[in-house]
Amino acid sequence: MIGKAGRRSWLIWFTAALVYLLSVFHRTSFGVAGLEAADRFGVGAAALGTFTVLQVGVYAAMQIPTGVLVDRYGPRKVLIAALLFLGLGQVLLALATSYGLGLLARGVLGFGDAMTFVSVLRLIAAHFPGRQYAVVTSFTTAIGYVGNLAATVPLTLLLAGPGWLPTFLTAGLLTAVYSAFVAARVKDTPNGRVAKAAPVDRRELLRQIRTAWRVPGTRLGFWVHFSTMFAPNVLTLLWGVPFLVQGQGMPTASASALLTVFVFGSMIGGPLVGGVIGARPGLRMPLVGGYLGGAALVWALLLGWPGSIPVAVLVPCFAFLSLGGPASMIGFALARDYNPLHRVGTATGVVNVGGFVATTITALAIGVLLQLGGGNFRIALLAVVVVLALGTVRVLVWWRRARAELFAAQARGEQVPVQVRRRLWDASADGRVPAAA
């Protein structure tokens, strides 16, 4: 049992949280460097979209393996490896003059990025008592948004000043050097010892993943994550600046400044959403439904606006879309509530894949549609609407099925995470006629 966290634990956490800040900075740096990358590598929109597709695809694929690595070797070693991969990826990108080497660089960076957040969460669990876990995790997320903020206006100014090579080379080298500080300061546990885990049984791991996936609550969490976080991800990771510069005629500096709306919206919205669902878990899915409905209206407004969209319209639209990140955290709460403790980590990894799969699909589709449509962003961004519609339908399907599981558990006299009342639309979810409300 962990007692009250001391000063040493807070220093260890802060040291590790800065790793997450660096990973978010590197992850989102292409959001303002996309146009310069297209010129540097001589590629079109479809090829440019492949950078994000590869990076996010590697991130998604590594989520569950990262959990296994952290269990096996401890978060300290995984964080050190993450920093070295992040540094190497950014150095390769700084030196790259060919499209192939640029892709390799972003793939290496995605590999390092994938290993950070899970490692930091494991350190928090080891160094802080349960009652502080959620608070420290929210602090970690807030620090990550600082990295996102640094990848907007400051990075734009650096690329316009010192340029591509000095900017990314310096960022990569500083990241790699920070690994030595992590090695010296971070301890896996308060007493510094690492518990030796048994060798991983691949067949048992696959069985656990399949079991977690079959749980309706896990599937619901996957589709919630899929539907809520991909749109802000797509805009901040790659297509936001090109859309505003090429599609809306904004200067690059103004476009990157406008993307900070996503950062501040997430920083404010995260604690608000967390506080609401912590106090009233029954509001989790109504909040998701409200966000998805509102997002549909926002995209209808953005894509249907005649001519250039005024900043006075873009700001509130982006502010609303930024809430997708906080809303996606509801998916993790669902994974936790609907799975036994020994499978929560696996279920969380499964859920975390959802949003990054949607981001990958959408980023690539936008690039292809831009290429085919002669750079028409109104046509290309219809990919967002299609993916949003798909995700919304799947959320509704698995929401009903998860509710059916709750009704069955209630009928067996089992404890359930959220008390729900049967409605008319629940009848076909489990084949039972609803009781009178």
Give residue 90's Cα distance to chain centre. Answer: 20
Residues ≥6 apart with Cβ < 8 Å to 362: 230, 231, 234, 383, 384, 387
Whole-number pLDDT of residue 425: 58
Dump pLDDT digits (tens) for 122-158: 788 778 775 666 567 777 777 888 888 888 778 888 8
Find out whether 305 and 317 touch, Cβ atoms under 8 Å: no
pTM (predicted TM-score): 0.77
- State both tokens at 330: 């509801």
**Interatomic CA distance for residues 332 and 322, integer angstroms:** 18
**Interatomic CA distance for residues 28 and 347, integer angstroms:** 26
Dump pLDDT digits (tens) for 395-428: 999 988 888 877 776 666 555 556 566 666 555 5
Report CA-CA distances (Å) from 410 to 65, 141, 159, 169, 421: 35, 35, 58, 58, 11
Dump pLDDT digits (tens) for 192-237: 666 555 566 677 778 878 888 888 888 999 999 999 989 998 998 7
Among all chains, which residue has been given the structure tokens 């009250």?
4
Best-predicted range by mean pLDDT among 2-6, 111-115, 243-247, 387-391? 387-391
Whole-number pLDDT of residue 35: 78
CATH numbers and ranges of domains, the chain? 1-190 (1.20.1250.20), 204-416 (1.20.1250.20)
- Whole-number average pLDDT of the chain: 83
Better-predicted residue by pLDDT, 277 or 123: 123
Count of alpha carbons within 13 Å of 159, Cβ hemisphere only?
A: 23
- State both tokens at 224: 């919630």
For residue 260, pLDDT over 90 is answered with no
User: 303: part of which helix (H) or strand (E)?
Assistant: helix 284-304
Coil/strand/helix, residue 24? helix
Whole-number pLDDT of residue 433: 40
Find out whether 105 and 53 touch, Cβ atoms under 8 Å: no
Coil/strand/helix, residue 433? coil
Cα pseudo-dihedral 78, 332, 62, 387, rounded to 10? -150
Identity of the amino acid at 161: G
- State both tokens at 207: 């069985």
Better-predicted residue by pLDDT, 171 or 48: 171
How much helix, strand and coil, in percent to the nearest 5, is found in the chain? 80, 0, 20
Rounded to 5 degrees, what angle do the CA atoms 78, 171, 37 make?
Answer: 110
- State both tokens at 362: 């959408």
**Interatomic CA distance for residues 191 and 188, integer angstroms:** 8
- State both tokens at 400: 């009903």
Phi, psi of 248 (to 5 degrees): -115, -5
